[in-house]
Structure 1
Amino acid sequence: MAETDPTDPTGTRRMVGTPRGPARVDLVVPRAAPVGLLVLGHGAGGDVDAADLSALCAAASRAAVAVARVTQPYRVAGRRAPAPAGHLDDAWRAVVADVVAGFDPLPPLIVGGRSSGARVACRTASAVAAAGVVTLAFPLHPPGRPERSRIQELDTGRPTLVVNGDRDPFGVPPPGPDREVVLRPGERHDLKGDPAGTAAAVVRWLARHGWARP
């Protein structure tokens, strides 16, 4: 495995074959043995360079966490409209398996992402044997449609962190069993106001579980 500067948010980049086409992985591995492995997915029409994902990658890397940011096949192919949920999940499981295979020993696996990527991570957390889940801007419901709640996706069966802006039009999930919710004041769905603060909240949570260095 290529060794990279732990403060570099890009690290190494490679393509990974999946049942839904090639995906891309941007991997950062700290020079010291990682105490956690964090795999992150992007939003529906966005990419892994979103402000919150980039800030989290940099902050987690400094806390001795290996971070893999995954670009779904439909985005690699240049499409903005997301693939069906089942296709997203298929590709995600294949990429996570590939990333995990590159670590020996394997540190605790934490999966997550922002918005659509957070939903994918929640739906597949059990299948990939994740120790925990990190969700950024989890879209609880479509804007103006609270009756179409997706709260059941957050019942992952493992420790789950939700970081949402208190002005997010997609709603704010409530706390629940094994689910901690951090509200970011003044933030909307893009979480662009204070990416470093959002990243710090995630790293603190990872550290409390022993998946990052304090």
Structure 2
Amino acid sequence: MTDIAIPTPRGPAGIRLVEPAGPPVSVLLLGHGAGGGVDAPDLVAVRDAATAAGVRVGLVTQPYRVAGRRAPAPAGQLDEAWSAVVEYLGVRKLPLIFGGRSSGARVACRTATILGAAGVLALAFPLHPPGKPEKSRADELPAGLPTLVLNGDRDPFGVPEPVGLVEVIVRPGATHDLRKDVKTTAALAVGWLRTHGWAR
């Protein structure tokens, strides 16, 4: 496990790289939720399951969290910092999958196509603010890229509908934090990676 500080136009971001036992098959970058960090239970479960399946995992901490703030930066600044992290990692020979939970899932979805990601893993994608279904963010989902959305059926932020190459799996009994049965959530994520040849 290696922690790296990465300069971005919005201040330093952090990335924790976790290597698999053998040669990596792909690289999975995961971003955190708005008020949380990369130690969220669903992110940790996916990290552990993915590295066990031959994936190099990078857990990305946005600059506002590195600076100790809980209030998230505006969407454009989040995307800018994420893009700087991807650029810092440099030329890739392995498939790069973007991912994250909640706000981090939105960043991954918004930037995946332009930054050349092979696919997107979206945990608890917040379809709309609680109680405001008319403010849908469905257009952020990259319909032209293989995308897996894992949401709980009790999520007050709503659950997206499948569209294009976007697959949606609803976790029974789970809320927005996806804490219920994180091992199965992680297993579903790794199963999806395997179907695309991105995991062993």
**Which one-letter code corresponds to 1:160 in the other structure?**
T
How many angstroms apart in 2 are the aligned matches of 1:204 and 1:184? 15
2:191 maps to 1:201: no
1:118 to 105, 125, 130: 105
2:12 maps to 1:17: no
User: Where in structure 1 do 4 or more consecutive aligned residues deviate above 2 Å?
Assistant: none
Aligned residues: 200
2:86 to 79, 90, 96: 96
Q: Is the 8 A contact 2:21 2:52 kept in 1?
A: no
SS in 1 for 2:28: strand
**What 5-or-longer segments of structure 2 have no aligned partner?**
none
2:177 to 160, 166, 190: 190
**What 5-or-longer segments of structure 1 have no aligned partner?**
1-10
Q: CA deviation at 1:157?
A: 2.0
Q: CA deviation at 1:32?
A: 1.5
1:6 corresponding residue in structure 2: none
Q: Is the 8 A contact 1:163 1:198 kept in 2?
A: yes
Q: CA deviation at 1:208?
A: 0.2
SS in 2 for 1:60: helix
2:71 corresponding residue in structure 1: 81
1:38 to 22, 28, 39: 28
Q: Deviations over 1:59-105 (max 9, x none)?
A: 0000000000000000000000000111000000010122244x5xx
SS in 2 for 1:125: helix
2:127 to 135, 140, 146: 140
1:170 corresponding residue in structure 2: 157
TM-score by length of 1: 0.91
SS in 2 for 1:24: strand
